[in-house]
Structure 1
């Protein structure tokens, strides 16, 4: 039974990593994997072949002596409810954030950012785009930031052979920027909602390594041939009716402030972050209902800028992918596979102990995890680490995991959502990125790791 579970997980994981080769949305194998794993786990549990464990260390087994079968089965259902509840918190948070971003985009708020991109010198343009990617990804998220900036880049640079260099460097900047913010990357959001890190703690200890991870490859890149001289820019003739709306500035400011307010809401109220995001969504939605995108706009045209329209543009396939991944990892976390010091533990905790015995240094383990995130999806890796380790909130381990998983994805173009998005928009070749950019990303990643270890040794 345990073998069946592991086989389903491995096959599902491989299918997710091969989504482009299979021409299959990764939500499909993720959902199949999750539902099949819980079905197998439930069947094995009801037959008395496997035991399960909850978040408090209580073990449930229908064959346990002096136990009521209905009580044990209810314990199993509560474990499933717990994992679904924790997953739901993350999903509703993401839905709220995605909706706010789509509202801003409908009102063409991100077009305002274009006026900041005036540099003609290639080095200045590189730093301008990099800094924008670093900052934007921390406020919205790295995926949205890279989509916005690559779209703007296509309106600025004529030659594609230069655009792919800039787009690739922005992947590094966006992933570095998302790593130190609780709302900058799905993995940092997971750690924050799971009470593994606080917004202040994450920012305080990860921002400097993230800045180093961003600056080192950009500084080296300015010495390379593609970033010398002046850029051949497209003539940017801005049609106010097409590029800007009366509501553009208002919705950009309100939307970004709404997302940035979420950590403040959590600090003030102590409530889970998804409630703060729902509050911010409600406020942004309220403003969007009364702001006028155009003069004398009709009710029919107003729908084009409504939140209902924004909701229809959300990528719910990504939401379902996260649902599948997190529930599948929850099944592994709940499965009792062995004992540590005479106490039954879940399979992920057992695996963590095995890894710790093989590699005593947690710093090396986490660096390897970051490098693995460039090959495998960082969401399940972080989800698994949350089930494997039981360190206290704001432990340096969680901060280092946030940094490594967030920035390690830059080592390969397929290693992060931001990389995949840029790859699709500019048709960046995998081998080209591996030869030209991966070494830059690696130097930045390792430099940031070194700084984090230094901070951990002398300041924690």
Structure 2
């Protein structure tokens, strides 16, 4: 202990501070922080490292598989030509950006939030002519996390609740808070993005797809879309059946290789971001947190802010073990809360891999100020409408 604070917490806090300040070296800082925590626990506590990492291995493999696999998914989706057609169907003013955020949230409700954020980023890059503000990138991450918060198949944390015995209907209450948050975030983010770079009114003349007729007869485009659909369906199916969406995603990627070569370069580009997230997740798992404060709406509200810097998976596991939470409020808090900082959620790390400017934590907080505002307003709206209704028994 130092100043009555466990050394591990100080090392982890130093790692997060380093990532926030020196974002150009975020990977080196995160890995260095992990090694410092591991080294301390081995030296001072004779920590049993192998059993701990063996326990965390399924989660790590799943995160690695999803981040790399969905990077490949994004490339297939980009080359299908559909993102170029989006300006035809989105309004020509700020409401187009808002509608895009709503679409991302809807997609995330039945697909993993990482994939929803990546696909949203691909479309945003096209409809805003490659100039996407950091504030709008924060809104994309918020939309993907908001959509997944109310669905037991939309986020790892809600899936954990479902498997532990929390009824799916208890989690769906989070959609009320998500709707309020996305109303606030969507309006402010879309207006700011429209001032930064207006949405394109028409697809470019060189677009691969020029009308529905061509898309129907083009076997190249059709097979790209088939591959995209296979990856989405594979991830969703294996998430429900195996609680391991990466397995289904990669099986679909291999099947899709019959139609188009696998764009391995995209996976290599996403590898650094995946290792960064894994280092933070492992560091968080090594923290000496045996239990959370007593379950209450105050505690749950605070967990949302904690999720912005501390991985929400171990927080959710502790809450399930402890019991006594309102699972709808908790699902929104730990799901959406990570959107407040880019490295607070896997969706944010995925977006930052495609848009390196998003790694500027100060810019994320400055331009994306409406994300925490949306969190507070959404949380208290749900609390005031439905109240605090904890489960007396622990989830099973």
**TM-score, normalization: structure 1?**
0.65
Change (3 A) 1:157 1:289: closer
Q: How does 1:253-332 map to 2 (within 5 A)?
A: 253-266=229-242, 273-274=243-244, 277-278=246-247, 280-281=248-249, 283-290=251-258, 292-293=259-260, 305-306=261-262, 312=268, 314-315=270-271, 318-319=274-275, 321-322=277-278, 325-326=281-282, 329-330=285-286, 332=288
Larger Rg: 1
DSSP-derived class of the 2:322 partner: coil
Q: Give matches, 1:185-264, under 5 Å.
A: 185=155, 187-188=157-158, 191-192=160-161, 195-196=163-164, 200-201=168-169, 203-219=171-187, 226=194, 231=199, 233=201, 236-240=204-208, 245-264=221-240
Q: Does 1:32 align with 2:38?
A: no
1:146 lines up with 2:117 in the alignment: yes
> Once the 2 structures are TM-superposed, how far is the Cα of residue 199 of structure 1 from its aligned partner?
8.1
Question: How far has the Cα of 1:19 moved from its partner?
Answer: 1.8
Give the 3 Å change call, closer, same or farther, for CA 417–103 of structure 1 in structure 2. Answer: closer
Asked whether the equivalents of residues 146 and 336 of structure 2 are also in contact (C-alpha less than 8 Å), the reply is: yes
Q: Distance in 2 between the 1:225 and 1:108 partners?
A: 23
Across the two proteins, how many residue pairs are aligned to each other? 374
Alignment-derived partner of residue 139 in structure 2: 169
| Aligned ranges 1:1-400 → 2 under 5 Å | 6-22=6-22, 23-25=25-27, 26-40=29-43, 42-43=45-46, 81=51, 83-108=52-77, 111-118=81-88, 119-157=90-128, 160=131, 163-164=133-134, 166-182=136-152, 184-185=154-155, 187-188=157-158, 191-192=160-161, 195-196=163-164, 200-201=168-169, 203-219=171-187, 226=194, 231=199, 233=201, 236-240=204-208, 245-266=221-242, 273-274=243-244, 277-278=246-247, 280-281=248-249, 283-290=251-258, 292-293=259-260, 305-306=261-262, 312=268, 314-315=270-271, 318-319=274-275, 321-322=277-278, 325-326=281-282, 329-330=285-286, 332-333=288-289, 348-349=290-291, 352=292, 355-356=293-294, 362-374=296-308, 377-379=309-311, 382-384=313-315, 386-387=317-318, 390-392=321-323, 396-400=325-329
Q: CA deviation at 1:236?
A: 1.8
Residues 394-428 of structure 1 show CA distances to partners (whole Å, capped at 9, x for unaligned) of: x6445433311222234456655555645982746
For residues 229 and 318 of structure 1, what CA distance do their matches in structure 2 show?
30
User: Are the counterparts in 1 of residues 178 and 332 from structure 2 also a CA contact under 8 Å?
Assistant: yes
Q: Which runs of 5+ in 2 are unaligned?
A: 210-214, 392-396
CA contact (8 A) 2:171 2:327 kept: no
Compute the TM-score of the two structures, normalised by the length of structure 2: 0.74
Q: Which residues of structure 1 form unaligned runs of 5+?
A: 46-75, 267-272, 294-304, 334-347
Q: CA deviation at 1:326?
A: 3.5
